[in-house]
Amino acid sequence: MKYSGKYGEYRVLACLLEEDIEAYPAIRHNQCDYDLTAITNAGKVVRIQVKTSELANAATNNPFNIDRHYDFLVAVIIEPQAGAGPDGPVTASSARFFVLSRDEALAIKGDCKLLGLSQQRNKVFQVKDALLPFEDQWSKIREFEA
């Protein structure tokens, strides 16, 4: 997918709005460490970094640098659909969302330079097990108070 980064950002923005979380795109010239802002139930502005990757691509584990200033990381993983070619259309149902606080993302990354999102088992690409508990955890953003 040619514009997977923008696709991921707008899909996350749509998901936040669908979850009744007020959200906006970040202003690039003075908010370069994150992609979106959201307003919590407590009225706090939170910064959201979005990282998007296609599950079965040439990268070994879809690694990203996550050492930036933000409150939440949302990893968007696009899974190929049956019958879709490598450049074929991606449907809304093919995207999965993993919502992590910055501390949770850094803990999963550990001592590695980059955060890997996927792994290959028996020649099949899949989301890393460490990310699975964070799937669709939008309430973490809504209820964030720190």
**Domain range summary for the chain, segments of one domain joined by +:** 4-142
Class of domain 4-142: alpha beta
Q: Indicate the pTM of the whole model.
A: 0.84
Q: Residue 1 has what pLDDT?
A: 66
Per-residue pLDDT for the chain (146 aa), expressed as one digit of tens each? 678 888 999 999 999 999 999 999 998 766 778 999 999 999 999 999 999 888 766 555 556 777 778 999 999 998 876 555 556 565 544 899 999 999 999 888 888 788 877 777 787 778 888 899 999 999 999 999 86
Structure tokens at 52: 């998007």
Burial class (CB in 10 A: 0-12, 13-18, 19+), 12: buried
Q: Residue 27 has what pLDDT?
A: 85
Q: Residue 78 has what pLDDT?
A: 87
Q: Residue 41 has what pLDDT?
A: 92
What single-letter DSSP state applies at residue 115?
Answer: B
Q: Residue 46 has what pLDDT?
A: 95
Residues 6+ apart with CB under 8 A from 46: 37, 38, 39, 40, 71, 72, 141, 144
Q: Are strands 36-39 and 22-25 parallel, antiparallel or unpaired?
A: antiparallel
Q: How far apart are CA 82 and CA 63, in angstroms?
A: 25
